Chain A
């Protein structure tokens, strides 16, 4: 199965700061998906097909990448963005998720 390695594991950002989370795949994938999970809540889809914003997601979120390297960027950090973020692939079975990046507000 494809292993997704996220970095950093934990990070903190000040309001207004730019944040980038990276996801490296053990084999090439055609697309990446990103989810946000706040404490005690279910995951929420943020980005699908690498760079498309899910419905209702603020445009400060963006995704990019190809092959084995993908990233999620928050252009200007807001307090409500404090959460754990997961990448996910389904280019091959089974679909797999990264180990998560915990983002805290400074």
Chain B
């Protein structure tokens, strides 16, 4: 596997379910991100991890819980979601941006539908 992978690619869950999204990066990067993408809206940054430490939590509801056990893996635990949480959830990774060109590498995303 190369790049950034995400599983599952599609997920349908009820509002009372608990599920987890998984992201893995094979690029040796030190930062990982969770984004929410809704139609015709800017990407919303949810969480940032730098060297496994959470550095940003952009006012995300507690029904979303991130976990970063090491610099290659990132999880997003979901529980008691709402229908408005239906969206594409993207994982990304990057190297230290201090080196100049700053590029984020994205996974294919998980299409989440909350019923």
A and B assemble together: no
